[in-house]
Structure 1
Amino acid sequence: MKEEKIITPASGYLMLFVFLIMSIGGIATSIITGNFTFIIFLVIAILIAPGFVMVQPNNSRVLLLFGKYVGSINKNGYYWVNPLYTKKKISLRARNFDSERLKVNDKIGNPVMISTILVWRVLDTYKAAFDVDNYENFVRVQTDAAVRKLASMYPYDNFADEGLTEDITLRSSVNEVSEALEKEIHERLSIAGIEVLEARIGYLAYAQEIASAMLKRQQATAIVAARHKIVEGAVSMVEMALDELGKKDIVDLDEERKAAMVSNLMVILCGDKDASPVLNTGTLNQ
């Protein structure tokens, strides 16, 4: 048998009543009558006792008879089964798994630290019990393997100076990466009858040995981008100023004076510090 078989055993309350009658009745009858042959009912009651099983909500019991799979009890309640059955408990509740931070290389070889948060539950008790040795350890090992594979498929971030223009990166494409991770883990855990409810990146950062250098690189990239926008704005403002001066005939500037004005405006608009005004008491040529 390679599939899960759901069974509903006999009610445990009826057998509990029989157990109490046989155990108490056997002892009481033996004492009253003085005939200890009635103690056999107590022995039968003791043999019945191992057959009682209680299944709580979102739990199950896998039943075996001398190594043969009999079925699984997934419905909560109080039952009685063959006392010779071996009863293995498997939880059907959703569980969280927060993996350790792993050091892996991304697509372009940069070492990164990454971990994942996984929400999972057992969907098929037969596969969880018999298709893998230890399904909880199987979840841990396969999740780590899936995270390592995922990290090697995408770069941590895009860098224009390397000509890297990936659409999906580990840092910026959170939803896409999580979907790919969930699919990868689901394919690995399906052999154990485990359903993946959610998989998310829990921690992501450059490894310690390159974190400082990458931080400076990101800062430099941000500064260059900001300077680019500042220069674009400054050129636009200088062009507008020259056009307005020419239209309103406020002052007649030759090419040399225009160049000086452009130079002064660019210094003021693109400088890191506020400009210090200088009062010219002479002519424009002085």
Structure 2
Amino acid sequence: MKETRAWSMNGYLGILILVLLIGSAAFLAWKQQWILAVIIFLVAAVLATGITIVQPNQAKVVIFFGKYLGSIRESGLFLTVPLTVRDTISLRVRNFNSNKLKVNDVLGNPIEIAAVVVFKVVDSAKARFDVEDYEQFVEIQSETAIRHVATKYPYDAFEDEEITLRGNPEEISSELTKNLQERLNVAGVEVIEARLTHLAYSTEIASAMLQRQQAAAILSARQKIVSGAVSMAQMAVQQLQESGTVELDEERKVNMVNNLLVAIISDRGAQPVINAGSLY
């Protein structure tokens, strides 16, 4: 199905025509020309069934005895084909908040995930005829797309993954929107935005994953501290040698570097030992 424009005319002009027909029928009845008066009155009654009102951001799908004649998108009062069924399809932008879904990420970790989908109908014919209930279709396909995207990426980066659910919200949102749009094209629905609103590990592994994240953070911090400590020790030895203040042999260099590394890397403040020499 593809949306087409239904025949329609200005509704106020249609009402004027109806008034003229009814007036003519009344005049003929006054002249006692009953047959012609009844015919004109029946014509007016049939035309009256074609009067319809379209609200802003709505579409009227016109169906004539099972045949799709087109849609009316303009708002206002119209006269369209008489004896037709006119279903209303909302063209307004709407939100859909999914339930919290429990799925496994690409690493097999159970996670809880939910998203909000912003959408609107752009083809009233597809929304009316190609799916049973386009609103329910959006809900089911949204949850399916969320599950599909969640299983393609890990929750968090532990081994330098390029894209993660937690660390790349924009990329995940773009991937979810694209995937969902492909699923909803059949229903004539445009996905404006799809974004995660809830993301967390499942209760049974949340504590273990928190410890893993803390361990990874500590390891990363230690790596930076060690790298900085080595650079500082090298710089100290190099400056002492260049200034000629102290002559250091290899054994003293090793002791000095060892002391500097211990002082810098230690969690506690350094407690220097001062050699005051012998008292005797």
- With the length of structure 1 as denominator, give the TM-score of the two structures: 0.84
User: 5 Å matches for 1:45-56?
Assistant: 48-56=47-55
Distance 2:106 2:90 in 1: 38
Match of 1:211 among 203, 206, 211: 206
* Matching residue of 1:13: 12
Number of matched pairs: 276
Q: Secondary structure at the match of 2:209?
A: helix
| C-alpha distance in structure 1 between counterparts of 2:98 and 2:23, whole Å | 53
Distance 1:236 1:15 in 2: 88
What aligned pairs does 1:124-143 form with structure 2 within 5 A after superposition? 124-143=123-142
Q: Deviations over 1:188-243 (max 9, x none)?
A: 11111112222222222222222222122112111111111111111111122222
The amino acid of 1:207's aligned partner reads S
Q: Within 5 A, what are the aligned runs for 1:147-166?
A: 147-160=146-159, 165-166=160-161
1:187 maps to which of 177, 182, 207: 182
Q: Quick one: distance in 1 between partners of 2:272 and 2:24?
A: 111
266-275 vs 13-22, which deviates more? 13-22
Is the 1:54–1:77 Cα contact (8 Å) retained in structure 2?
yes
User: Following TM superposition, by how much is the alpha carbon of 1:98 offset from its aligned partner in structure 2, in angstroms?
Assistant: 2.1
Secondary structure of 1:153's match?
coil
1:138 partner letter: F
The offset of 1:254, in angstroms, is: 4.0
- Tell whether the 8 Å contact from 1:8 to 1:75 is kept in structure 2 after alignment: no
**SS in structure 2 at match of 1:170:** coil
Q: Superposition RMSD on alpha carbons, in Å?
A: 2.8
> In structure 1, what is the equivalent of residue 254 of structure 2?
259
- Matching residue's letter, 2:226: V
Does residue 249 (structure 1) correspond to residue 244 (structure 2)? The answer is yes
1:271 aligned onto 2:266:
yes
The alignment's TM-score, normalised by the length of structure 2, stands at: 0.86
Q: What is the DSSP-based 3-state SS (H/G/I as helix, E as strand, rest coil) of the residue aligned with 2:74?
A: coil
Tell me which amino acid in the other structure corresponds to 2:203.
Q
* Structure 1 residues without counterparts, runs of 5 or longer: none
Displacement of 1:113 after TM fit? 1.5
Aligned letter for 1:240?
M
Equivalent position of 1:69 in the other structure: 68
Please give the secondary structure, in 2, of the residue aligned with 1:87: strand
Q: What CA distance in whole angstroms lies between the structure 2 residues aligned with 1:4 and 1:259? A: 82
